[in-house]
Amino acid sequence: MTDGAFDAEAKEAALRAESETWDTTATYDATDGDIPIIDVSAYFSTGSSPDRDAVAAKLREASETVGFWQLVGHGIERDEIAAAFEAARRFHALPASIKEEIRMDRPGWPLGGVGYMPVGERKLPRRAHGNLNEAFIMKADRGIHLDDNQWLAEERAPGFRATAERFGRRLEQLARRLLPLYATALGVDETHFAPGFESPFWRLRMTHYPPVGSSSNDAPGGAFGIAPHVDTTFFTLLLQDSPGLTIYHTPKDRWINVPVVDGAFVVNSGELLRQWTNDRFLSVRHFANVDAAARQASRYSIPFFFNATRDYPMECIPTCCGPDNPPRYPTISYNESQGVVQGE
């Protein structure tokens, strides 16, 4: 086992420094097969071992080679997705003065990292330039209830809270249903991850990318919708209403623009899954591309960041290490990976 404590601050600094070396000037449109499309409908319908194994084999190949894949057949209905996007549009159409009432990390609110994040914030991820997006963020885990998040009064945003909470719960259910597939893909029992996700820590983010490219709202040099980064998650589920996501495609050794597949979630592994699998599954750099993101129209995306219970010790998966391949990382919890001693 790797000795020594995990230095979360050093890890974040290293990731940030690495991201500043990435050349993102050339991007290419994806071609057929660049990003695998995986249909889980048969497995979700039958729950059978053959159906699970068939999907898990595709997930394993995608996670080891590309690190991104498109999820279809997931059971989240089109009208549920449409309702979530409509709620995001209505929220972000509100006057700034109203959204600022629930500004993220405002003095006096006990829970950090939730509420409204305005355009130009230099965090999530932290970078030298402000990100050209605004977002509403909510989160939950064993010690954080949905009531603990920041919400506008109902008369300010009718129906918004109910829609956001309902969609967050639905995505948590979906994420949990994917866990047996990840376990099977890694050659362990399908219940392997269950103890680590009894009270998963998750974030739901409803993001708005305002129009850019007009003379009155040009993007400054070096700015992105969201700066190049890797996720810190176990995995992330992403919905996007229009193109704008760009990923680094390892097999082709170049940046590619991810197409929008109707009704599909884009799924990617994060740093915690990469470490849990001893670098077997990829954690892939990506960004929101300002140029591709609807120059004269708004773009919306809804990522769902899924993690194990915050204090669960993530020990290297047995099939990912051995005498000739010792664990590269210490056993850590999500909290430790983020430098958190106690819950927020």
Task: Quote helix, strand, coil % in the chain, to nearest 5.
Answer: 30, 20, 50
pLDDT on residue 212: 74
Cis peptide before 158 (omega within 30 of 0): no
Helix (H) or strand (E) holding 57: helix 49-65
Q: How do strand 68-72 and strand 37-39 relate by DSSP bridges? A: parallel
Please choose, from the candidates 301, 294, 303, 287, the residue with its C-alpha nearest in 3D space to the C-alpha of residue 129.
287
pLDDT on residue 330: 95
Q: Which two tokens stand for residue 87?
A: 């709620």
Amino acid at 255: W
Helix (H) or strand (E) holding 292: none
pLDDT on residue 126: 57
pLDDT on residue 342: 39
pLDDT on residue 344: 35
Contact 161, 154 (CB under 8 A): yes
Contact 304, 280 (CB under 8 A): no
303 alpha carbon, distance to own chain's centre:
5
Q: Mean pLDDT by 10-residue block, N- to C-terminus, for the chain (344 residues)?
A: 57 67 88 96 98 98 98 98 98 98 95 93 60 94 96 98 98 98 98 98 96 52 79 96 94 95 97 97 91 69 98 97 96 86 38
Phi/psi of residue 73, each to 5°? 70, 25
Instruction: Write out the E strands in 262-319.
Output: 265-269, 286-288, 299-307
**How far apart, in whole angstroms, are the C-alpha atoms of residue 168 and residue 304?**
8
Helix (H, G, I), strand (E, B) or coil at 285: coil
pLDDT on residue 225: 87
Evaluate if pTM is beyond 0.85: yes
Q: What would be the CATH architecture of the domain defined by 37-69+76-238+261-272+280-316?
A: Sandwich (2.60)
Residues in the chain: 344
Q: Which two tokens stand for residue 78?
A: 């089109």
